[in-house]
């Protein structure tokens, strides 16, 4: 039997068609371009429905060039020169949160025609409904230009700097459009594509710098003294990673803070473009290195959304179990290190005692203690072993008592309370305007948790409460994490007790390899196996965004496919990257010693921030 590569890429079963089985003839489907709108409307992946689908928001029709739905995500295209008008109108219509802003370079994307080379993508959200809307604008030129929207959506400040840094897009009106991830003396924009597939040589012009730790500003503070500029980090142990803060001090009082990031930028998103869809899982482990399975989950859900597949119930339950274990592990690292920094030295030993048990569980189910790569598109790596289930049951029974121990040590501890109560205040409205998520947002009294608001992986079937505090300070964020640990144990108990039987991967030979026993009896299984391990599966053209709730907040994954076996673009919406922008708002007029607690309760992971 002879099949060319194009035919094998089209082996995905159409809606309503039975999957290929041993002994059945292969039935290549029609390419997407040959299917009519009527058939595409039934596509489980929700492929592009065309501009006549429905209006996703109340907005002047003159501002909308095109609109539609792709993989159940609503989108509109607006003229680049009217982007501020369009986003202002949408904000008035209820889309008050900018989830992320990014760019896609379509130079070598032959899957379809585009109005311009650079697609600027704005993911907006209405927190009340809740509902997401993707806004696109296309630009050309060298350099490409578009108006800044940092004054409409403050979180766009760093996103625009990142897009300028990596793609060279100039945002007119931005107050400080400088590099943010690459060194200041880097030449070129590393995320731009080239027709040859290779990037032109780039160079680093080394600039000698004296690296002064303390400098005089010449300005006078409220106490009559001169303001001093101090470098806090990047190698200070209390910055929770390689973070540098340029701090202006009036005596010991903070007057300005400028975070400087990029020291851990490893080009993870760019690496994803060189890997097949299934290979990218191992890379997702490593940006938020305290939440590898949750990173896996965001990526897997995005790929599954674009492919229109759903994993079996047992796989969803195992994903929930691994996610909640990861949440506990992340909070334990935060609590242990924060206690160490603020004087509760023994907290580190208590917290790492239980974290080591979670690492044992990771090792039992995946073979790895930290970077498990356990959750994958189409399901999970392997089923849970009986020993894993026994270990998990014992852990669930003992963990509530350990959380009681943590509270005995910290909640009423006078030193802990004096270092956190009233420190790093972030009012609810400021938290929403700045795009904060996770304990940063819930610690300001806003009951927003993606597991409740936009459920995924069956979270709607679990009984748990959203951890909340109205204190709006470091102590409130501590209380939120304590309650989240208790709620995570409740979810784990329900998931274990109700763990369904059945497979842990989708029954789709075009996405996952067939069982070994089929290879001995089915030529079709051999072909699928060969194609998966030499070329990989292909994802339908389009884009999709999925967000999950990590220990730090919204961990999102935006993927763009051109119909091949490798992604065209992968963007990770980092909770650390967004939450860190609120640091100055929380630190102003506090003492320099309070910076330790403020950075700690933000719980940023710099690998997640820099990617």
CB 555 within 8 A of CB 594: no
CATH of the domain at 159: 3.30.460.80
Q: Which residues of the chain have pLDDT under 50?
A: 1-55, 198, 201, 204-212
Residue 544 falls inside a structural domain: yes
CB 499 within 8 A of CB 314: yes
- The CA–CA distances, whole Å, from 282 to 92, 112, 124, 320 equal 41, 30, 29, 19
Domain count, the chain: 2
Could you give the 3-state DSSP secondary structure of residue 574? Answer: coil
Whether 153 and 300 share a structural domain: no
Residue 22 falls inside a structural domain: no
- What's the rounded Cα separation, in Å, for the pair 26 and 18? 11
Range of the domain at 520: 295-572
Q: Which helix (H) or strand (E) holds 526?
A: helix 523-534
The DSSP bridge pattern shows strands 66-70 and 73-77 to be antiparallel
Whether 158 and 304 share a structural domain: no
Give the bridge partners for 379, in sequence order: 376, 505
Could you give the 3-state DSSP secondary structure of residue 147? Answer: strand
How many beta carbons lie within 10 A of that of residue 563, not counting itself?
18
- What's the rounded Cα separation, in Å, for the pair 365 and 372? 9
* Rg (the chain; Cα; Å): 25
CATH of the domain at 325: 1.10.645.10
pLDDT of residue 485: 95
Given 137, 172, 207, the domain boundary residue is 172
Residue 90 falls inside a structural domain: yes
pLDDT of residue 558: 95
pLDDT of residue 265: 87
Residue 49 falls inside a structural domain: no
Residue 603 falls inside a structural domain: no
Q: Which helix (H) or strand (E) holds 111?
A: none
Whether 405 and 543 share a structural domain: yes
- What's the rounded Cα separation, in Å, for the pair 303 and 324? 22
Residue 204 falls inside a structural domain: no
Half-sphere exposure of 11 (CA within 13 A, CB side): 26
Give the bridge partners for 141, in sequence order: 144
Count Cβ neighbours within 10 Å for each residue of 122-133 and write b for 16 or more, e otherwise.
bbbbbeeeeebb
Q: Which helix (H) or strand (E) holds 561?
A: strand 554-561
Given 144, 172, 200, the domain boundary residue is 172
Whether 387 and 525 share a structural domain: yes
pLDDT of residue 606: 84
CB 590 within 8 A of CB 599: no
pLDDT of residue 209: 45
CB 470 within 8 A of CB 447: no
Output the CA angle 534-539-543, nearest 5 degrees. 145
Whether 300 and 168 share a structural domain: no
- What's the rounded Cα separation, in Å, for the pair 450 and 465? 12
pLDDT of residue 40: 30
Residue 496 falls inside a structural domain: yes
Q: For 471, which DSSP code? A: -
Residue 228 falls inside a structural domain: no
- Residues whose CB falls within 8 Å of the CB of residue 309, separated by 6 or more in sequence, listed in order: 44, 378, 506, 508, 511
CB 349 within 8 A of CB 611: no
| Residues in the chain, overall count | 611
- What's the rounded Cα separation, in Å, for the pair 355 and 333? 8
Nearest to residue 440, comparing CAs of 426, 429, 451, 452?
426
């Amino acid at each position: 039997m002879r099949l060319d590569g194009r035919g094998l890429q089209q082996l995905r079963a159409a809606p309503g068609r039975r999957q290929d089985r041993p002994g059945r003839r292969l039935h290549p489907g029609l390419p997407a371009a040959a299917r009519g709108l009527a058939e595409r409307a039934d596509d489980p992946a929700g492929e592009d429905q065309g501009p006549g689908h429905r209006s996703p928001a109340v907005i002047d029709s003159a501002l909308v060039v095109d609109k539609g739905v792709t993989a159940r995500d609503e989108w509109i295209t607006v003229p680049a020169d009217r982007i501020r008008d369009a986003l202002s109108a949408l904000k008035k219509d209820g889309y008050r949160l900018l989830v992320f802003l990014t760019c896609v370079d379509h130079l070598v994307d032959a899957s379809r025609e585009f109005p311009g080379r650079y697609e600027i993508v704005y993911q907006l959200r209405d927190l009340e409904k809740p509902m997401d809307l993707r806004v696109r604008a296309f630009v050309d030129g060298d350099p490409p230009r578009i108006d800044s929207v940092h004054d409409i959506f403050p979180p766009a400040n760093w996103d625009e700097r990142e897009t300028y840094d990596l793609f060279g897009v100039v945002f007119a009106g931005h107050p400080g459009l400088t590099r943010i991830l690459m060194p200041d003396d880097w030449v070129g924009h590393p995320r731009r594509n080239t027709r040859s597939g290779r990037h032109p040589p780039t160079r680093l012009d080394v600039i000698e710098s004296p690296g002064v730790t303390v400098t005089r500003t010449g300005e006078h503070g409220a106490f009559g003294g001169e303001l001093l500029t101090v470098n806090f980090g990047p190698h200070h142990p209390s910055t929770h990673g390689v973070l540098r803060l340029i701090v202006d001090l009036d005596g010991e009082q903070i007057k300005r803070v400028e975070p400087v990031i990029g020291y851990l930028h490893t080009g993870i998103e760019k690496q994803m473009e060189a890997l097949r869809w299934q290979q990218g899982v191992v890379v997702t482990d490593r940006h938020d290195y305290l939440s590898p399975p949750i990173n896996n989950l965001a990526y897997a859900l995005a790929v599954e959304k674009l492919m229109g597949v759903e994993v079996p119930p047992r796989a969803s339950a195992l994903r929930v179990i691994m996610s909640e274990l990861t949440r506990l592990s992340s909070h334990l690292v935060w609590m242990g290190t924060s206690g160490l920094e603020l004087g509760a030295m023994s907290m580190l030993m208590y917290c790492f005692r239980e974290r080591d048990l979670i690492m044992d569980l990771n090792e039992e189910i995946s073979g790895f203690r930290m970077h498990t790569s356990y959750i994958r598109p189409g399901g999970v790596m392997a089923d849970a072993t009986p020993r894993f289930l026994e270990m998990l049951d014992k852990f669930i029974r003992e963990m509530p008592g350990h959380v009681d121990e943590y509270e005995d040590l910290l909640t009423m501890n006078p030193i802990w309370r004096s270092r956190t109560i009233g420190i790093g205040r972030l009012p609810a409205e400021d938290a929403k305007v700045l795009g904060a998520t996770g304990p940063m947002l819930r610690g300001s009294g806003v009951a927003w948790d993606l597991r409740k608001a936009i459920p995924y992986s069956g979270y709607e079937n679990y009984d748990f409460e959203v951890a909340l505090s109205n204190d709006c300070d470091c102590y409130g964020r501590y209380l939120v994490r304590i309650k989240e640990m208790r709620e995570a144990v409740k979810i784990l108990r329900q998931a274990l007790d109700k763990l369904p039987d059945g497979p842990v991967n989708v029954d789709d030979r075009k996405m996952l390899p067939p069982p070994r026993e089929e290879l001995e009896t089915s030529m079709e299984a051999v072909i699928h196996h060969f194609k998966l391990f030499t070329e990989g599966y292909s994802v339908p053209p389009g884009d999709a965004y999925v967000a999950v709730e990590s220990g730090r907040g919204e961990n999102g994954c935006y993927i763009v496919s051109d119909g091949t076996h490798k992604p065209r673009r992968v963007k990770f919406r980092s909770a650390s990257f967004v939450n860190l922008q609120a640091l100055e708002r929380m630190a102003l007029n506090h003492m320099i010693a309070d910076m330790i607690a403020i950075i700690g309760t933000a719980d940023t992971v710099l690998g997640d921030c820099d990617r």
